[in-house]
Structure 1
């Protein structure tokens, strides 16, 4: 039975209604306690998730374009311009009251009133992603414009292997021709070209190569410095590079980097660089396409084959094909009923393919790429 106060009010009801505001306040505080921490706590997760998604998307787009070119289709690019990730947290609190009265049967009475308190919260992520199609002048710059020679050597200065970078990006150095593909035929390199790349790589490892930019007149130019070494091996490589290039650097070992097929003097390094279109075409002709696609006329035979005796004649990026890609493929796309992929266990192919992102930015802007803007408002 309910006890009565001196005024006749059931004590159980009095105690409940006195405590109900306190219950509601506690539940509301618990439900909203995490609101202020959503913004800071989302930064590490969002940065990691969006960067991974952007990297995967870029690899898929680039590999898809390489495959499209192999089958005679035009490349197309859709850049991610910005990402706005908006969060909202909605909370609600409900209170239910059950109070015993003297009018109910004694057998069903409880000694005190009962209270039911509920709380809910909804958390939503509403990302807004802006895409920019590559058309007009930007398309021309990215695919047709040769990569600036100074930017190529700045990549080497940053530590990227000189032989890999130069094999992918240049047609010739001081008139010494690189390997190339013309009309579906592999044109061999001049005999001195690959030994020259190997010697430059060894000089790079020995710390005898450096690149800087200087202001000359109204424009900035790149300067390559090759320094003689004190060991017989480094001295031999230095002499080989100097004699092969027919270079006569100044007393500081400086060579002015210029875009040209041949140098105008012994103090210039004439670099005839490739465009991104050239590089994509080279990769496309190295895809291991199904034999029936060649037999039916869907594409031409592969020019760079993995079975070549010389590693320089093999594909710079090994792209396999089949009915399904391996589960751990580095990148994979489907074209028609066939899958094309880069194996995650092929480090050299992964490295060369990743360099394509940097080459793309150099061809378009002359500088290394910047990631899209990422804005994270929280409500």
Structure 2
């Protein structure tokens, strides 16, 4: 009898949720962190696919996560019939249940403020910040820059011979700058005009004696040097004489650029639901010159097993291969630009509260 009373007392006392379960369990903080990161990546991939199909992107912001934890103890007693035992007539059983009930609050990103954030050109200060955070200059420029002086980073499917030549010069310049960056010989700054705070310039400084630096100066037609270094100022937009400086893309333009390399199923091409760059009239040998593959999104009829991120759309799975480091880096760069450029605007639309569990 004492054993029974001890068991009843043990299961009936009040219990608190252990901190290890809250932080590290399946319903803990780390689990939600991983889930939010995963859904953010899936949302971005979904929007790239939408752009490929000629549809507008849509974003939801996870405003908050609230959860309630509960722990419940259950005790049951019973008598076995038949098989009644005089020495041990009663069976006593106990059970402990742990529950997590999260509530997710989503808000649609829409309206004038958000549209301006994804449509306005990326600030050159953001570009400098991204490069100094460790990103390769060539990857950043290929994704985020439309023009570097007279050299265009075109993504159109048709190019005249002269345009193609200037496009190749764009790649030549950024390849040389990447080599200087790898040597630690390239510094990048942002200069703001004192008489016009809205007018900014992106500054490039590199040694005068460096062979790569000399080649860059020759292409950009720069002759001035100071203290043994070339210092090149490229104005954002156009200078006072109407010459092109550096023209950054908008976030939406970056997404559209990457959507070009979403591989779509043949059935959708045949019924003209979308177009594919590899089915156009350009010679196949010219495609790498026109469009350098920063990211490749594949498609499959079944959910892929080797995906870094995948999403189902129009009865087809679209995914980035987990082993494709080049595409994964570009996709991560796009997410970084999105976080820096879009921010969290004032929400004016409806709020969606989704209880889970």
TM-score normalised by the shorter chain: which range applies?
Answer: 0.7 to 0.9
Change beyond 3 A, Cα 1:263–1:28: farther
CA shift digits 1:289-327 (9 cap, x unpaired): 23342332222232599x656645343211222322421
> Displacement, 1:241?
2.3
CA shift digits 1:207-251 (9 cap, x unpaired): 12234567875969676452317xx7xx01122223333444654
Q: 1:198 aligns with which of 158, 175, 193?
A: 175
Q: 1:364 aligns with which of 334, 342, 352?
A: 342
**Alignment match, 2:212:** 237
> Displacement, 1:93?
5.1
1:103-114 pair list within 5 angstroms? 110=86
**Alignment match, 2:23:** 43
Q: Secondary structure at the match of 1:318?
A: coil
Change beyond 3 A, Cα 1:274–1:223: closer
Change beyond 3 A, Cα 1:308–1:351: farther
- Equivalent residues of 1:203, 1:209 under 8 A apart: yes
CA shift digits 1:150-174 (9 cap, x unpaired): 2112211111111111111001123
Q: Secondary structure at the match of 2:70?
A: strand
**Alignment match, 1:12:** none
CA shift digits 1:105-149 (9 cap, x unpaired): xxx995x78666544332111111111211013431343111111
**Alignment match, 1:9:** none
**Alignment match, 1:324:** 302
Structure 2: distance between partners of 1:197 and 1:263: 25
Larger radius of gyration between Structure 1 and Structure 2: 1
**Alignment match, 2:333:** 355
1:287-298 pair list within 5 angstroms? 287-298=262-273
- Equivalent residues of 1:288, 1:302 under 8 A apart: no
Structure 1: distance between partners of 2:297 and 2:29: 30
Change beyond 3 A, Cα 1:155–1:19: closer
- Equivalent residues of 1:258, 1:270 under 8 A apart: yes
Q: TM-score, normalised by structure 2?
A: 0.76
Q: TM-score, normalised by structure 1?
A: 0.72
Structure 1: distance between partners of 2:33 and 2:245: 38
- Equivalent residues of 2:192, 2:201 under 8 A apart: no
- Equivalent residues of 1:150, 1:257 under 8 A apart: no
**Alignment match, 1:101:** none
**Alignment match, 1:376:** none
Change beyond 3 A, Cα 1:204–1:335: same
**Alignment match, 2:205:** 226
Structure 1: distance between partners of 2:270 and 2:300: 16
Structure 2: distance between partners of 1:332 and 1:311: 26
**Alignment match, 2:36:** 54
> Displacement, 1:335?
2.5
RMSD: 3.7
**Alignment match, 1:3:** none
**Alignment match, 1:146:** 121
- Equivalent residues of 1:83, 1:130 under 8 A apart: yes
Structure 1 unaligned segments of length 5 or more: list them: 1-15, 98-107, 367-379
Structure 2: distance between partners of 1:174 and 1:296: 40
**Alignment match, 1:209:** 186
Moved more, 72-81 or 310-319: 310-319
Change beyond 3 A, Cα 1:69–1:214: closer
> Displacement, 1:355?
1.1
**Alignment match, 1:169:** 144
Number of positions where the alignment pairs a residue of Structure 1 with one of Structure 2 = 328
> Displacement, 1:81?
1.6
Change beyond 3 A, Cα 1:119–1:327: same
Q: Secondary structure at the match of 2:277?
A: coil
Q: Secondary structure at the match of 2:71?
A: strand
